Amino acid sequence: MTNSEITTQKEDRLAQMLAKLKGRDFRLTPQRLAILTILASSEDHPTVDGVYKEVRSKFPTTSIATVYKTIALLKELNEVLELGFPDGSNRYDGNRPYPHPHAICIKCKKILDPEIASVDQLSEEMVQKTGYVLSFHRLDFFGLCPDCQKKG
């Protein structure tokens, strides 16, 4: 993708979120718009705290409850993907709110979204072998990212 295509895609994500929120009891304050914008455009899978810190840099009066509530509503509308972890450090992907594989660094906690061609095939095989009707999947790969490998 070119940079302009990526910019368009991020604007589309924000537009999609706003469209879904229309008709919901959701007053679009500047703070909430900032939260949506951060989630729609960030590729680093922020935590609630990360979103909170970023929005506070622009709107210092924002409460963490507003961040929690906005994310909960987006989750309900399937407009953000929640990656839950046993230690409670949940991460959020508003850029790609549908199931996709993640590469997770166990040291620095960086999470990447590579395009993996064989995911559809994997789902197909899962259906064939189990007879399940699949609703979603979760596919996490854990290891050390290139930066952490260099640090040893």
Contacted by 105, from Mn ion, Zn ion, none: CB < 5 to 8 Å by type: Zn ion
Binding to Mn ion (CB under 5 A) within 87-146 occurs at 93, 96, 113
Does the footprint of Mn ion cover residue 54 (CB under 5 A)? no
Least distance (Å) from Mn ion to the CB of residue 96? Answer: 5
Report CA 51 to chain centroid distance, whole Å: 11
* Spatial contact of 47 and 83, defined as CB atoms under 8 Å apart: no
Q: Which of 15, 19, 108, 134 binds Zn ion (CB under 5 A)?
A: 108
- Please choose, out of 47-55, 64-72, 126-134, 144-152, the segment that lies near Zn ion by the rule CB under 5 A: 144-152
CA atoms within 13 A on the CB side of 125: 5
Angle between helices 48-58 and 30-41 (to 10 degrees): 130
Half-sphere exposure of 89 (CA within 13 A, CB side): 9
Output the smallest distance, CB 98 to Zn ion, in A: 25
For Zn ion, the binding residues in 30-69 under the rule CB under 5 A are none
CB 69 within 8 A of CB 77: no
Beta bridge partners of 142: 104
Closest separation between CB of residue 83 and Mn ion, Å? 7
Q: Could you identify the residue written with the tokens 């064989």?
A: 118
* Interface residues toward Mn ion, by CB under 5 A: 93, 96, 113
Q: Which residues bind Zn ion (CB under 5 A)?
A: 105, 107-108, 110, 145, 148
